[in-house]
Amino acid sequence: MATQLKRATVYIRPDIHKAIKLKAAVTDQSISDIVNDALLATLSEDEEDLAAFEERVNEPLMTYEELLARLKADGKI
């Protein structure tokens, strides 16, 4: 079964639009395919970030001052 697509109006800067059009021509893809791929990649990154936060939720917190003191003690700053 084919995926149903939704139509949306998106305003793109002229320089980005030109780049997308060129990429579409070179890669034999539609602008929609390129935009959809980029959006999926961004959402996937967000999902990975949220998973990483969830994995570290029980780690102890450290203040900025504590971090600086630790870096200084370790000779990194």
* Dist. CA 32–CA 29, nearest whole Å: 8
Calculate mean pLDDT across residues 29-49.
Answer: 94
Residue 19 pLDDT more than 70?
A: yes
Query: Has this prediction a pTM greater than 0.75?
Result: no
Residue in 57, 25, 23 with CA at minimum distance from that of residue 37 = 23
Cα separation of 29 and 36, whole Å? 11
The pLDDT score that the predictor gives to residue 1 is: 55
